[in-house]
């Protein structure tokens, strides 16, 4: 089974991103200072433009948890139990950011292949998702 070049690049980029996320989580767990949430500040820059959506979603979700007075999950040890400073950034940047880097080369490849053709946005994404 032959994997397309764009998918190979996507796997490589997603792996590099996942390694950065794992390293950040390791640094957060072993941090002795109280400024460990600052370690997430690298990801809005490397995940741009996806991170714009992520930061906005994190703000809304964070306000929701604050409004119902839930700040941590007691089943997890500190700092992994902090919803606003660990769990939400991990989901937004760690999980969805890695997925973003997997699909980014495929989106660019499909755009380059169809740049002279008129195609609807739904057909565009169907083509991306149906590639094998």
- Kindly state the average pLDDT of the residues 50-79: 68
In a domain, 83, yes or no: yes
In a domain, 121, yes or no: no
Cis, peptide link before residue 28, omega less than 30° from 0: no
Residue 35 pLDDT exceeds 70: yes
pLDDT tens across 4-13, in order?
Answer: 888 889 999 9
Contact 59, 66 (CB under 8 A): no
| Domains identified in the chain, total number | 1
pLDDT of residue 75: 67
Residue 20 pLDDT exceeds 70: yes
* pTM across the whole model: 0.71
Q: Which residues have CB under 8 Å from 69's CB, separation 6+?
A: none
Residue 83 pLDDT exceeds 90: no
Q: Which residues form the domain of 28? A: 5-103
Average confidence score pLDDT of the chain: 79
CA–CA gap between residue 102 and residue 13 (Å, rounded): 6
In a domain, 79, yes or no: yes
């Amino acid at each position: 089974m032959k994997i397309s070049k764009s998918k190979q690049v996507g796997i490589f980029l997603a792996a590099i991103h996942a390694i950065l996320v794992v390293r950040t989580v390791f640094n957060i767990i072993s941090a002795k200072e109280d400024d460990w949430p600052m370690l997430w500040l690298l990801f809005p820059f490397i995940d741009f433009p996806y991170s714009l959506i992520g930061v906005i979603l994190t703000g809304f979700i964070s306000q929701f948890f604050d409004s119902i007075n839930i700040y941590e999950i007691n089943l997890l040890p500190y700092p992994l139990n902090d919803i606003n400073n660990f769990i939400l950034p991990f989901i937004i940047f760690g999980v969805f950011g890695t997925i973003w880097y997997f699909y980014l080369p495929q989106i660019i490849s499909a755009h380059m292949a169809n740049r002279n053709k008129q195609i609807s946005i739904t057909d565009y994404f169907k083509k991306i998702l149906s590639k094998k």
